[in-house]
Amino acid sequence: MLVLGMMSGTSADGIDVALARISGVPPKLNAKLLQHTSAKFPAVLRKEILRVAEQRPITAGELSQLNFRLGKAFADTAISACRHFRVPPSKIGFIGSHGQTIFHQGRPVRYFGSPTASTLQIGEPSVIAALTGITTVADFRPADIALGGQGAPLVPYADYLLYRHAKLGRVSLNLGGIANITVLPRAAKPSQILAFDTGPANMLIDALVSHYTRGRLRFDANAQLASQGRSIPALLNELLRDPYLKLAPPKSTGREYYGHAYLQKVLALARRHRAKPNDVIRAATIFTALSVVDALNRFVLPKTKIHQLIVSGGGAHNPLILAQLSAALPEIEVLPSARLGIAEDAKEAFAFALLAYESFHQRPANIPSATGAHGPAILGKISYAPPR
């Protein structure tokens, strides 16, 4: 089957699309990434996504409109990607769309008298199916939460299929808006997999860059700004005292924690330490790397021998993050996921193509040891394409 995987992450930069050829049944499932591309959201649409994800007020009508408007954006991107890949939509078996997360509360909190966890991804899949003519699988996270899991991370299933090795212990690190790891001990069984969000990645760096450049820049290309900043150990140490780092897995986080309020906290710390803009961007960049290192030292390396750290996501292109990881983990080989056949910017979209394939075939694809769910869950909901 040819499958399109589509992903928009916490940073809401745009939509990543991966074209995969998938066949077989686990553990002999064959999956190959054929091509990938991406499309940016219109600036006004991205601004509204971020506004809503920061829990700013929105009416039910506005949320409904945004859900359907994003469905059209995903559909338009899928059609454009098919043209780019030179594959007619009729040849695509189905689409796996992660959608756009605008709320994620993985741990239950009291709500009207009952402990409640929830998650919400929008980008209406019925619109995608109708406009593309391709059956669409979406809304992957709720089934895991319904079984007591955190609904995240879900990519470990793909990491297990792609990176499990008979002789090497590996960690798959994705540096998107949030940083998350999948720990794969040598010859791992699914029950031995550990995975969780380690803290912020591009989200905090991008927010600082946008703030200090007044929106002129959206990210720090090649760590140019961070490289011009000076190190302020006291500022970095305060960042590393973040309580989230100490929480034991399973755990997940997002814009609800590392969004606007957290940015204001970092800016207040910067003023206290009289840090210049590039100093703060440098501190946030190094904090991203060292929060990953902290997670490994705290929760992984005391129990598991790790030989390789496989890095994907937009942060994989940040030389300062990679240099810090290599320096802090001298006994572990740090390598980009492209070295193992999956382009850094395509990994998560490719993962949701795999998850959709499993959902379509009514097979569970969560990893309970990673999410904390009581058991396996068949993820996603299917929106069928109109009859041809």
The rounded mean pLDDT for the chain is 96
Domain-located, residue 388: no
Whether the per-residue pLDDT at 176 is higher than 90: the answer is yes
Range of the domain at 86: 2-150+346-383
Which pTM was predicted? Answer: 0.92
**Does residue 240 share a domain with residue 165?**
yes
How far is Cα 231 from Cα 281, in angstroms, rounded to an integer?
10
The answer to whether position 53 is within a domain reads: yes
- Phi, psi (deg, nearest 5) at residue 361: -95, 15
Residue 11 has pLDDT above 90, yes or no: no
pLDDT > 70: what percent of the chain? 100
Q: How much is the pLDDT for 346?
A: 95
Same domain? For 139 and 173 the reply is no
Q: What DSSP line would sit under 298-366, residue for residue?
A: IIITTT----EEEEESGGGG-HHHHHHHHHH-TTSEEEEGGGGTS-TTTHHHHHHHHHHHHHHTT----
pLDDT at 275: 97
Is the CB of residue 102 less than 8 Å from the CB of residue 119?
no
Domain CATH number, residue 173: 3.30.420.40
Question: Is 202 in the same domain as 319?
Answer: yes
Same-domain pairing of 299 and 164? yes
Give the confidence band of 137 by pLDDT, cuts at 50, 70, 90. very high
Whether 331 and 189 map to the same domain: the answer is yes
Contacts with 15 (C-beta within 8 Å, 6 or more apart), sequence order = 6, 7, 8, 38, 39, 41, 73, 74, 77
- The pLDDT score that the predictor gives to residue 359 is 96
> Does an H or E element contain 191, and which?
none
Exposed / middle / buried, residue 57 (Cβ in 10 Å: 0-12, 13-18, 19+): exposed
Q: What share of the chain is helix, strand, coil (3-state, %, to 5)?
A: 45, 25, 35
Same domain? For 363 and 274 the reply is no
Domain annotation covers residue 192: yes
Identify the band that residue 339 occupies on the pLDDT scale cut at 50, 70 and 90: very high
Q: What is the mean pLDDT of residues 54-79?
A: 97
Q: Count how many Cα atoms sit within 13 Å of the Cα of residue 122 in the half-sphere of its side chain.
A: 19
pLDDT at 327: 98
3-state class of 222 per DSSP? helix
131 and 251 both lie in a single domain: no
- Looking at residue 310, its pLDDT comes to 98
Domain presence at residue 367: yes
167 and 302 assigned to the same domain? yes
Same domain for 64 and 207: no
* Cis status of the peptide bond prior to 250, with omega within 30 of 0: yes
Mean pLDDT of 126-153: 97
What per-residue confidence (pLDDT) applies to 28? 85
Asked whether residue 206 is assigned to any structural domain, the reply reads yes
- CA–CA dist 385, 388 (Å, integer): 8
Q: Is residue 228 part of a domain?
A: yes
pLDDT tens-digit series, residues 249-297: 999 999 889 999 999 999 999 999 999 999 999 999 999 999 999 999 9
| Percentage above 90 pLDDT, the chain | 95
Q: Is the pLDDT of residue 388 over 90?
A: no
Q: Do 104 and 117 contact (CB within 8 A), yes or no?
A: no
Query: Is the pLDDT at 361 greater than 90, yes or no?
Result: yes
How many domains does the structure of the chain reveal?
Answer: 2
Closest Cα partner for 40 from 379, 282, 314?
A: 314
Tokens 């960049």, located at residue: 285
pLDDT in tens, 183-201: 999 999 999 999 999 999 9
| 314-337 pLDDT, tens digit each | 999 999 999 999 999 999 999 999
Q: Output the CA torsion sign for 73, 78, 83, 89.
A: negative
State yes or no: pLDDT of 103 exceeds 90. Answer: yes
Q: Does position 106 have pLDDT exceeding 90, yes or no? A: yes
Count of C-beta atoms within a 10 Å radius of residue 307: 14
Residue 27 banded pLDDT, cuts 50, 70, 90: confident
Task: Examine the domain organization and report whether 57 and 17 are in the same domain.
Answer: yes
Q: According to the model, what pLDDT value does residue 236 have? A: 97
In a domain, 295, yes or no: yes
130 and 245 both lie in a single domain: no
Indicate if 138 and 213 belong to the same structural domain: no
Backbone dihedral angles phi then psi of residue 238, each to the nearest 5 degrees? -65, -40
Is position 278 within any domain?
A: yes
Q: Which two tokens stand for residue 293?
A: 């290192």
